[in-house]
Structure 1
Amino acid sequence: MSVLAVTEHRRGDLRDISLEIITAGRELADELGEELNLVVIGGDVDGFAEDCNRDGVDTIYTVDEGEEFNHGVYTQAIEQLHAELEPTALLAPNSVNGLDYAPAVAESLDLPLVTDAVALEGGQPVEVTREQYGGKVETTYDVDADQYAVTIRSAEWPVAEDAGDAAIESFEADIDYDAIGATVNGFEEVAGGDVDITEADVLVSIGRGIEEEENLPLVEELADALGATLSSSRPIVDNGWLPKNRQVGQSGKVVEPDVYIAIGISGAVQHVAGMKGADTIIAINTDPNAPIYDIADYGIVDDLFEVVPQLIEEFGGEAPDV
């Protein structure tokens, strides 16, 4: 028996969730006393397999079918590999792709499925924790089944970093292309604005504390001085002060920068869900009891209009008049 985790790639790049799911899978496999196996489907399967060859992975199976994600290919390949390995747990990313094929596979294989897991506790039954009501409530489900499927939320587990020595094996899936109702003809990037905040190393993020749109140039100057990217919490986007592609949070984007500077952000659970994976979190807020300080590595309890100009000067910029 084993834990089988499905990796994910897009447009030639392995996604971070592929390395996070290794950590989640290894922890679960250890608790169950089982092996951890991965499957890479489509694209540069050999290259992706090497990228996923991290400590704790026992075997990586490659399915060399197609370049980009295809529902029919993934469902058939996973179902056939599952039939051969008979894993206790099937783990998939809680992503657009993962939520496309995981329910179909679970239905086909008659597996109970829990989506958007933020914690797993191995055993019989396995305990799967997920958040509800915008992150205000955590619910733990006891999945009393010999085999089950779970989708894993990104940024909840650290990426697996240490190199491994897993065996890499080609799995020859028998794909029935006549049964596939859709094919991928190309990839078109949805218009999302001028930047992708998920790729930023440093984010300067602004919340309600900025008070009005006319004060935005202050944090924009700080971002420029730091060589950072500007992002925000939902109220700033709802007010129309920044475009949707700049929003961090449950209803925005999940980011994992090296440094996240939260300015005038209280730290509501919906926002924290999108940025708690940052390596270093710095918060600036006048309220010493703001929830953001519960997860911040460094905090400045002061007026942002006093602190930000000093930071701009420290890093060689020139604070604008606001």
Structure 2
Amino acid sequence: MTVLAVADHRRGELRDVSFELLTAGRELADAADTELHVAVVSGETETFADELNREGVDAVHTVDYGEEFNHDVYAQAVTALTEDLDAEFLLVPNSVNGLDYAPAVATRLDRPYASDAVGLAYDGTLEVTREMYGSKVETTVDVTEGPYVVSIRSGEWPPAEGVGEAEISAFDFAPDEDAIGSTVRGFEEVGGGDVDISDADFLVSIGRGIEEEENLPLVEALVEATGATLSSSRPIVDNEWLPKNRQVGQSGKHVTPDVYLAIGISGAVQHVAGMKGAETIIAINTDPNAPIFDIADYGVVGDLFEVVPALIEEFGGEPPSV
């Protein structure tokens, strides 16, 4: 019995959720009194393996085939490795890639599949915590019969740290070439721009409180003064004031910056689901009862049109007239 966690990478870089997956996997392995094995498929596997060799990892397996994600390759490789290790638990990210191949693997192995987990517990029976109705309701599901396949939501576990001493080995994998029916030809950024807010250390995020598009330069001046990256809640994107790639939330991107400054954002559950993993959350809102203050480490009850200019000046910038 082992826990097998499959890392996620894109365009030559491991995704943050890969390291969060290690933490979730280690917790589950401890509960089941077993080992945590990690796999990385395709790409620069040797480099990725070294990065994934964190504290708590017992073994790292590499599968060399192609450079980018391919459904047919992953479905075959992950199935074969799971069977070879006799892994009781298969953990994958609840990402675009993970959601692509995990159901196929579960079907091939005839296993139950639980998606979008935000919590895991094991005491002879696997208990998966999930959120429903736009994260308004938290539910627990008892998966009574294993082995198991589970995908975990990003931002719910801290990333694994430290340098591990796991053995790194190449898995002998020969795919059925006739079953590989597609290849990756390239990538196209959605929503325009080349900024990936999920990689930012400091996000300044704006919501309905900005009132109108003409007031955006005020927040952009704060972004420039602090060296932050601009992001937003969904209404700003729906109004086409910012492109889709700037949206944080359940229908946008999950982010885990060191600092998340929410300006004029009430804190709806759909938005909070995408940023609650930030290390430090600061909120500015006129409503002292705004839900965002329930998760904020620091809060300012005040008018953003007074608070933001003062912050710009404090960081040596020049507030624009709005």
Normalising by the residue count of structure 2, what TM-score does the alignment of the two structures yield? 0.97
Report how far residue 219 of structure 1 moved.
Answer: 0.9
Listed as ranges, the gaps of 5+ residues in structure 2 are none
CA distance in 2, matches of 1:76, 1:56: 27
CA distance in 2, matches of 1:256, 1:17: 10
Partner deviation per Cα, 1:175-231 (whole Å, 9 max, x = no partner): 1111222223x3222343222222222111111111222221111111111111211
Matched, 1:167 2:148: no
Moved more, 26-35 or 208-217: 208-217
Secondary structure of the equivalent of 2:24? helix
Report how far residue 146 of structure 1 moved.
Answer: 2.6
Moved more, 199-208 or 18-27: 199-208
Aligned match of 2:191: 192
| Letter paired with 1:167 | E
Partner deviation per Cα, 1:45-100 (whole Å, 9 max, x = no partner): 11111100001111111111111111111111111111111111100011111111
Matched, 1:130 2:130: yes
CA distance in 2, matches of 1:265, 1:45: 41
5 Å-filtered alignment, 1:70-89, equals 70-89=70-89
Root-mean-square deviation (CA, aligned residues, Å) is 1.1
Listed as ranges, the gaps of 5+ residues in structure 1 are none
CA distance in 1, matches of 2:189, 2:286: 38
| Letter paired with 1:148 | Y
Secondary structure of the equivalent of 2:224? helix
| Letter paired with 1:121 | A
Aligned match of 1:153: 153
Aligned match of 2:203: 203
Secondary structure of the equivalent of 2:118? strand
Aligned match of 2:216: 216
Matched, 1:141 2:141: yes
Matched, 1:94 2:67: no
CA distance in 2, matches of 1:21, 1:65: 22
5 Å-filtered alignment, 1:6-85, equals 6-85=6-85
CA distance in 2, matches of 1:287, 1:304: 11
CA distance in 2, matches of 1:303, 1:200: 26
Secondary structure of the equivalent of 1:284? strand
CA contact 2:113–2:148 (8 Å) conserved in 1: yes
Normalising by the residue count of structure 1, what TM-score does the alignment of the two structures yield? 0.97
Calculate percent identity across the aligned residue pairs: 68
